[in-house]
A = this chain, B = another copy of it.
Amino acid sequence: MTATQISALSLSAIAKSTRQAARQLAILSTEAKNQAIEAIAQALEAATPEILAANAADCQAAKEDNIAKPLYDRLKLDETKLKGAIQGVRDVGRLKDPVGEVQLHRELDEGLILKRISCPLGVLGIIFEARPDAAIQITSLAVKSGNGVILKGGKEAVRSCEAIVKAIHQGLAQTSVNPAAVQLLTTREETIAMLQLDEYIDLIIPRGSNSFVQFVQDNTCIPVLGHADGICHLYIDSTADLEKAVNLTVDAKTQYPAVCNAIETLLVHSAIANKFLPIVAGALQESQVELRGDEATCQILDIVPATEDDWRTEYNDLILSIKIVDSLDDAIQHINTYGSRHTEAIVTEDLVTAETFMNQVDAANVFHNCSTRFADGFRYGFGAEVGISTNKIPPRGPVGLDGLVTYKYKMTGKGDVVATYAGKDAKAFTHRDLG
């Protein structure tokens, strides 16, 4: 057997034990799950010195490997950051339990009662990069939603993740949650093998670069929650309030350019381009934003010409492409062609134009007169976010705890057979909604 085959075998055994533990976790009461979450918080507090020491070793090794500065910043844990993560665990404990919600309660006939009830998905597979605190957040969300979780951290964070998961296991050992419900994988071979474990893993959540998420999407038949690209647009309509338009453009581009809900392309209606572009360009250049324009834009602004590639690029940086369009329809057409179905916004004072844009643009989030940067589970008031999905099928957009559960139909009868309701003397169903 090759190393990959051996790894696949042992991984399969690990995943099977997670599945078993998750089946027990799935039926725990809210109280029992909250106790487990508090035990995790306390264990992480107790293990703070060990976790910080492990992280220091990871950081040392990362420095020797000359890893990129942003990656290093995400890797580095200090006491404040760890305290924040532990606070986050307790915050999740206070969120509403997504399991057990009765979504439908219907009498099919006297004594034949159907309920649709939310229940955990089963086992989550989470693949994340440098940030070791992601292991903490995801574990608390998994426990709260009644799911087992298989964590695969980046190799640069292996010591930190091991110390964190060791503490989590110690915490869970005194609770109703079997520690086997939370597993840590550490090698790259295991990632590949994990993507094949559709028997044991019900949902994959990849966190990382666009190309990595794309790789995961292309190499598994397990449902994937998340998004590869975040190519978001802001369209400035001919009826826009130009002050709002400038403020929204600057916020959507510069408030945090490295994130998925920042804009990459500004679309401007030709009727206001001459007036608006010089103002917005000044404001953006004050914030060190590099501008690239289509031909029409370059006749107004002295900036670099944009190429076809620019419309397809998520810069994740202080760069913005600009295109002049002649109509709302052209703007919608551009967005539906190049957008990644993430977040799209319009600035306009015309309500009909706004409504047309929001109806016809194909994206999880469509905004009118507000910044694309609001597309976020915390800002939406979900209390937690496992990611933003650009899938068409729900869960879509910012996904909170509710995205980690599914439902089942439970029906109780008194010996009812279908033959009663079939054939020429078929009894009719009552189909009466209850409660």
Contacts and interface: CB of A to CB of B under 8 A. Distances in A.
Interface of A: 23, 26-27, 106, 108, 112, 114, 116, 119, 121-122, 202-203, 217-218, 221, 223, 241, 243-244, 247-248, 250-251, 255-256, 336, 347, 354, 358-360, 362-371, 373-375, 379-381, 391-394, 396-398, 406-419, 421-422, 429, 431
Contacts of A255: 417-419, 422
B406 A369 contact: no
A114 B375 CA distance: 10
A174 to B, nearest CB: 24
A396 B242 CA distance: 47
Contacts of A223: 223, 391-393
Contacts of A367: 410-413
B27 A413 contact: no
Contacts of A409: 364-366, 375, 380, 397-398
B121 A393 contact: yes
Max count, chain B CB within 10 A of own CB: residue among A114, A407, A408: A408
B392 A202 contact: yes
Chain multiplicity (copies)? 2
10 contacts: A247-B415, A247-B417, A364-B408, A366-B411, A369-B416, A370-B411, A370-B413, A379-B418, A381-B429, A396-B407
A429 B379 contact: yes
Contacts of A247: 415, 417
Which 10 A-B residue pairings sit nearest by Cβ, starting from the closest? A370-B413, A244-B415, A251-B417, A381-B431, A373-B418, A370-B416, A368-B412, A202-B392, A365-B409, A367-B411
B363 A408 contact: yes
Nearest to A380: B114
Contact of A406 (B121, B218, B393, B408): B393
A414 B369 contact: yes
A41 B391 CA distance: 34
A312 to B, nearest CB: 13
A295 B14 CA distance: 32
A359 B26 contact: yes
A410 B369 contact: no
B418 A406 contact: no
Contacts of A396: 406-408
A370 B408 contact: no
A369 B413 CA distance: 5
Contacts of A366: 408-411
A342 B52 CA distance: 47
A354 B415 CA distance: 13
